């Protein structure tokens, strides 16, 4: 019998992507012992360890990381080809894995995923919520949602929102106590709620524009988070100023819970995009997800325009 050159690769990829043998076994539908055995057999065949195992975590060795970077794209291609061949003319099926930032959950995911599941019950959907930049192929994702400037150039992008105007916001109670900053330099006399990037660990410097030139400020702040939703909730609580995307606080602004300041200095960047490798476009499950997303977001824009028109008529 010819030995299977791919033996153990499914277990290796599952452990690498889920960062654990128990989670990998749940994904593959086998026992943790079976996953462990498959990985050990692969390591024995290669003559080198692929993972460093401790009681609390599993991480890739240098060899394991190199193997993952080489194997994951090829496996994604094979899986996509098989799925496409098997689904020609049929209802989309399979496993659709998405990585999205927390900001996209109320704006897009809360509405699109239920509609997609109702329309295509044969597709299993997994949504991973994380603000950090993600290697789609390396982590086994089919597609992701990110702000346009963070999407890699070799990816296909589908626009999901208008451009983003960055906003400095605060609760009325905070502004009543501390006053309104008139220029970015005034932030040195205020309390900022700072954001730390999950991947790099760096604190985000607030970005502004003055007369067409970029300006960044490192404002003082004794409250630091790595979650965009907390920037909004802590600002609403009157704990300081937050730097957020305007599309993430539209409801809070309309309700008077948050007030924008420093508006003349705030920059605009590309909005949210659904992105994926070009070869993934052929997968029926992803094409179906794109179709549902476009339809729902188009309807929402029409509803918003009708709502604003109705308000205009009432005011007139």
Break the chain into its structural domains and give their ranges. 9-88, 94-162+272-306, 164-269
Q: Percent of the chain having pLDDT more than 90? A: 53
The yes-or-no verdict on residue 51 having pLDDT over 50 is yes
Residues 129-166 have pLDDT tens digits of: 998 888 888 888 999 999 998 888 889 999 999 999 99
CB 165, CB 265: distance < 8 Å: no
* pLDDT, position 242: 98
Residues 66-115 have pLDDT tens digits of: 888 888 777 766 666 665 565 555 678 899 999 999 999 999 999 999 99
Average pLDDT on 32-51 reads 89
Residues 185-196 have pLDDT tens digits of: 999 999 999 999
The yes-or-no verdict on residue 24 having pLDDT over 90 is no
Was domain 164-269 assigned CATH 3.30.70.270? no
* pLDDT, position 164: 94
pLDDT mean across residues, the chain: 86
Residues 222-231 have pLDDT tens digits of: 999 999 999 9
Q: Which CATH architecture has domain 9-88?
A: Orthogonal Bundle (1.10)
Q: Angle, nearest 10°, between helix axes 9-18 and 62-86?
A: 110
The yes-or-no verdict on residue 313 having pLDDT over 50 is no
Does this chain's domain 94-162+272-306 share its CATH topology with 164-269? yes
When pLDDT is cut at 50, 70 and 90, the band that residue 181 belongs to is very high
The yes-or-no verdict on residue 307 having pLDDT over 50 is no
Q: Which CATH class is domain 94-162+272-306?
A: alpha beta
At 235, give phi and psi (nearest 5°). -65, -45
221's tokens = 């702040």
When pLDDT is cut at 50, 70 and 90, the band that residue 5 belongs to is low
When pLDDT is cut at 50, 70 and 90, the band that residue 45 belongs to is confident
């Amino acid at each position: 019998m010819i030995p299977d050159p791919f033996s153990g690769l499914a277990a290796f990829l599952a452990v690498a992507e889920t960062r654990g043998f128990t989670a990998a076994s749940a994904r593959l539908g086998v026992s943790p012992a079976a996953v462990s055995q498959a990985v050990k057999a692969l390591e024995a065949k290669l003559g080198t360890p692929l993972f460093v195992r401790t009681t609390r975590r599993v991480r890739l060795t240098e060899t394991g990381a190199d193997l993952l970077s080489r194997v994951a794209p090829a496996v994604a291609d094979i899986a996509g080809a098989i799925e496409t061949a098997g689904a020609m003319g049929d209802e989309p099926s399979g496993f659709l894995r998405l990585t999205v930032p927390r900001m996209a959950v109320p704006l897009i995911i809360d509405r699109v995923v239920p509609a997609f599941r109702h329309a295509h019950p044969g597709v299993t959907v997994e949504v991973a919520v994380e603000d950090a930049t993600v290697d789609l192929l390396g982590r086994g994702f089919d597609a992701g949602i990110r702000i346009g400037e963070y999407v890699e150039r070799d990816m296909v992008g589908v626009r999901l929102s208008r451009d983003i105007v960055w906003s400095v916001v605060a609760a009325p109670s905070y502004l009543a106590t501390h006053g309104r900053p008139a220029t970015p330099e005034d932030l040195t006399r205020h309390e900022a709620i700072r954001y730390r990037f999950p991947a790099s660990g760096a604190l985000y410097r607030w970005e502004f524009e003055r007369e067409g030139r970029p300006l960044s400020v490192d404002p003082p702040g004794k409250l630091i988070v790595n979650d965009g939703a907390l920037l909004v909730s802590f600002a609403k609580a009157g704990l300081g100023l937050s730097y957020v995307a305007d599309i993430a606080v539209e409801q809070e602004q309309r309700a008077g819970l948050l007030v924008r300041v420093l508006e003349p200095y705030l920059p605009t960047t590309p909005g949210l995009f659904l992105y994926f490798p070009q070869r993934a476009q052929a997968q029926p499950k992803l094409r179906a997800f794109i179709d549902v997303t476009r339809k729902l977001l188009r309807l929402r824009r029409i509803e918003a325009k009708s709502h604003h028109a109705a308000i205009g008529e009432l005011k007139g």
